[in-house]
Amino acid sequence: MRLDSVTSTQDAARDMAIGSIVIANHQTAGRGRLERRWEAPPGTALLASFVLHPNPLLSLAAGVAAAEACGEAVRLKWPNDLLLAGLKLGGVLVEAKQGKAICGIGINLTWAPVGAAKLDLPADELLDRLRERIEVWTAAPPDTVLDRWRRLSATLGRRVRLELSGKTTEGLAEDVGPNGELIVDGVPFFAGSVTHL
């Protein structure tokens, strides 16, 4: 469903059936994780929510799908940032609702905030690629998703700072575990904000 203005495509998708996709031209209250805002002036970004079956690796699978849809130069920062030349190009937000997972993806096209990146691709072409890649990666076996995520990762093998509930950890991002958790100096983290050091 294509809408002009919504609070968030996540809200518009909430009561829809699995398989639905909501696209909006503008969000008045686009959101990221942890109550953060997602900003995009009208008509400048791909703003989409996919209603999918819940799956613990969905956030990583959607990141892989979005990175492949965007093109070869795009890399992933744990857990869900799309990076182009090291700058944030887009993000993934998965919210679980009564047996459904609402997977929101925002990708900057003709505008980006200062210090972020944008992609030179028509919105419709990107959406077509994204739908196809989401279908492939949400059906892929967990090990295949994890292996592909590892290969697209800009995080693994780097020193990182991880902030979670006011607590900060620094160390080497060694791997992702079977549920997509980031392993820093042997310790698994299931949530948090990562800075590449």
**Binding positions for ligand BT5, rule: CB under 6 A:** 8-10, 27, 30-34, 36-40, 47-49, 80-81, 88, 91-93, 104-106, 108, 112-113, 116
Cβ–Cβ < 8 Å for 90, 82 = yes
Please state the closest distance from residue 115 (CB atom) to ligand BT5, in A: 8
Least spacing, CB of residue 107 vs ligand BT5, in Å: 8
152, with CB counted inside 10 A (0-12, 13-18, 19+), is buried
Rounded to a whole number of angstroms, the minimum distance from the CB of residue 55 to ligand BT5 is 18
Instruction: Identify which of residues 9 and 153 has a Cβ nearer to ligand BT5 in the complex.
Output: 9
Judged by CB, which is closer to ligand BT5: 80, or 155?
A: 80
**Collapsed DSSP state (helix, strand, coil) of residue 91:** strand
Give the integer Cα–Cα distance in Å for 96 and 101.
4
Q: Which of 145, 1, 4 is nearest to 66 (CA)?
A: 145
CB of 121 to ligand BT5, least distance (A): 15
CB of 155 to ligand BT5, least distance (A): 13
Q: 28 vs 179, which CB is nearer to ligand BT5?
A: 28
Q: Which is nearer to ligand BT5, 7 or 179 (CB)?
A: 7
What residue number has its CB nearest to ligand BT5?
A: 91
Decide whether 106 or 180 has the Cβ nearer to ligand BT5: 106
Q: Which is nearer to ligand BT5, 91 or 180 (CB)?
A: 91
Among 113, 109, 73, 79, which Cα is nearest to 93's?
A: 79
Give the pairing type, strands 21-27 and 187-189: unpaired
d(CA 21, CA 1): 6
Q: In what order do the strands lie in the sheet with 182-184?
A: 187-189, 182-184, 167-176, 159-164, 193-196
CB of 191 to ligand BT5, least distance (A): 11
